[in-house]
A and B are shown apart, each in its own frame.
Chain A
Amino acid sequence: EDQVTQSPEALRLQEGESSSLNCSYTVSGLRGLFWYRQDPGKGPEFLFTLYSAGEEKEKERLKATLTKKESFLHITAPKPEDSATYLCAVRRANFGNEKLTFGTGTRLTIIP
């Protein structure tokens, strides 16, 4: 069974204090690993897809990296507007298997 574990559950940072969120996964053949941002009471917003170990993607203050067992979401010099819950998900490589397995998320708070 596919599993995704995110840590920490919650993280409070001062504005400008860089840090990383972790997503550990086990999946039988990885088709893709996804990062989403979710604000309270809203649907998840797509951020990145990573397909293979060693891949990196960046968007503004966010950088996602992938190894064979985990992914990191690095946040550089965060601002209060980066406060949100960040979700990680994986999709297995089977053809026709559309299912995403999600972690429970990391709730990030950036203090001004």
Chain B
Amino acid sequence: DGGITQSPKYLFRKEGQNVTLSCEQNLNHDAMYWYRQDPGQGLRLIYYSQIVNDFQKGDIAEGYSVSREKKESFPLTVTSAQKNPTAFYLCASSIGETGIEQYFGPGTRLTVT
């Protein structure tokens, strides 16, 4: 089955700790994205990557970091510098310029207390 997987589904952390969210895709898509979803707000872009070993900041990159060492994987680290990390995090991928639709994973709900 082709698709996007995110793990874990739920994640709980104490304030001050860094945490890494996993995103893997087996769709052979070139581009991958991280969004954050908060109640009453539209999805907001954190980071995106169009090719391996390259990524760009989105609208709300502060307090987050990413890497893209493999085409299939795009992990997101939420650092202690992120002021309001509790949110629903969504990973997406797209083919690239030949296909602009973005397909989403199931999401990770992060709670920081």
- C-alpha spacing A105/B4, complex, angstroms: 23
For A102, the chain B residues whose CB sits under 8 A away are: 42-44
Q: List 9 A-B contacts (CB under 8 A).
A: A32-B101, A42-B106, A43-B106, A44-B104, A46-B102, A49-B101, A98-B50, A102-B42, A105-B42
Q: Once the chains bind, are B102 and A100 in contact (CB under 8 Å)?
A: yes
Seen from chain A, the residues whose Cβ lies within 8 Å of a Cβ on chain B are 4, 31-32, 34, 36, 41-46, 49, 87, 89, 91, 96, 98-105
Given contacts A46-B103, A91-B100, contact A99 B42 (CB under 8 A): no
**A105, B39: Cα distance in complex, Å:** 11
| B94 contacts the other chain (CB 8 A) | yes
Shortest distance from the beta carbon of B15 to any chain A beta carbon, whole Å: 24
Check B45–A99 contact: CB distance below 8 A: yes
**Neighbouring A residues of B92 by C-beta, 8 Å:** 43
Give the complex CA separation of A87 and B35 in angstroms: 14
Residue of B nearest to A51 (CB): B100
The 9 closest A-B pairs by CB, nearest first: A102-B42, A43-B104, A102-B43, A44-B104, A43-B107, A43-B106, A104-B42, A98-B48, A43-B105
